[in-house]
Amino acid sequence: MFSNFSREFLVRFSEDYAQIHGRIVFPITIIGILTSIVTILILNRKTFQTPTNLILQHVAFFDTIVLFSYNIYSFYFYILHDPNPFVGQSQFWIRFAIFHSNIGVTAHSIALWLTCLLAIIRYTIISKPKRVQINFTHVTILIWIFAIIVCLLMIPSYFAWKTVYWISQVTGKGLEKISFGIIAICLKISPVIILILFSVLLILNIRNARKLRERLRHRYSSIKSSSNFKRELRTTTMLVLITLCTVFVELPQGLLLIAIGFDKQFFVLYSHLGDFWDISSIISSFITFIMYCLMSQQFRMEMISLLLPEFLIQKFHLSTNRTSLSRQISLKPMKSQNSPSNIPKTRDIPTDL
């Protein structure tokens, strides 16, 4: 299947990169853990408590699990030891490596399917805004359903690997074949296809809505550009960018895993690219935080108020006034006309990123 030159090149690339992989990925996982925690804290604030942001909060939570597990794994196997990690290790660390592999794939797959859920909900809200009402209870139930389904799909993988005292080769039979097939089809390719499909539908919906608004603006000059429409466009753009990152990271892995089912020699290619798959997945979760910061002014303001003390905010004139960025409603208590409490109060309505 592979020429001797390509096989030697792949092995050399894998061995050379393994020398620096741990020193690259270890600080990235630390940064990723911190940014994921910041994301969870910000999305848990009142101004961000919406059903769709609840999904993003859980995506960040499962990303944190992946990053935390890989942080320990990379430090022990790639920094403290030579990058030939599974030879001569204690049984505890070999079992931890298997646990890390399973928990990493499980948490990453849940985060990926929750991103699909987000795309489906965004499409439903935009296409049928008046007929569909989605609340926190619905979203919480859906999150748990997706998480349980992924865990059930991972059961063959949980039992496919064990600690041995000799070098075991992939057999391509039994649980290994079932495990590769489930991961490839259900946890890699299917969510990518769903993300692409609903991202395209979202883009078409936004495009049609923009054309309709332009026609109405030409007919009725009093109609102005809506901040709600701009927010929907920004959120959709963010989701499309996340989809592109996901396709780049997940689709090649899924195709290779399917190829392993037909020819075991593809396992050589897949295994030698393992470190590359890992770092690409880790970087993709970090890119999500960068997109939040670049595309949401409200997210940036919340992050400033969360991370910086008040005196620094005042010293550098960093505005954290969120009033102009949030929709508001007026609360008018039923009191006498002369009562000072009759002054209208405003309360921020939570908004999506």
Angle subtended by helix axes 227-262 and 91-127, to nearest 10: 140
> Is residue 347 classed as helix, strand or coil in its secondary structure?
strand
Confidence class for position 330, pLDDT limits 50, 70, 90: very low
Task: Please provide the DSSP assignment of 254-312 as one string.
Answer: HHHHHHHHH-TTHHHHHHHTHHHHHHHHHHHHHHHHHHHHHH-HHHHHHHHHHHS-HHH
Amino acid occupying residue 78: Y
Between residues 275 and 172, the one the model is more confident about: 275
Kindly list the structural domains of the chain, giving each domain's residue range(s) and its CATH number in brackets, ordered by start.
4-312 (1.20.1070.10)
Q: Please list the residues that pair with 349 across neighbouring strands.
A: 327
Per residue in 151-165, pLDDT (tens digit) is 999 999 888 776 655
Residue 196 pLDDT more than 80?
yes
Confidence class for position 168, pLDDT limits 50, 70, 90: low
Q: Residue ranges of the alpha helices (H) in the chain?
A: 4-43, 51-74, 91-127, 136-153, 155-160, 174-184, 190-219, 227-262, 266-272, 274-295, 297-307, 310-315
Between residues 337 and 192, the one the model is more confident about: 192
Quick one: residue 186, left, alpha or beta (phi over 0 = left, psi -120 to 50 = alpha)? alpha
What's the rounded mean pLDDT across residues 317-346? 49
Out of 60-64, 180-184, 304-308, give the one with best mean pLDDT: 60-64
Residue 332 pLDDT more than 60?
no
Between residues 108 and 16, the one the model is more confident about: 108
Phi, psi of 321 (to 5 degrees): -75, 110
What's the rounded mean pLDDT across residues 69-82? 88
Residue 255 pLDDT more than 50?
yes
Per residue in 198-235, pLDDT (tens digit) is 989 888 887 887 777 677 666 665 555 555 666 667 77
What's the rounded mean pLDDT across residues 232-258? 85
Q: Which sign does the torsion angle of CA 59, 203, 122, 346 carry?
A: positive
pLDDT at 329: 38
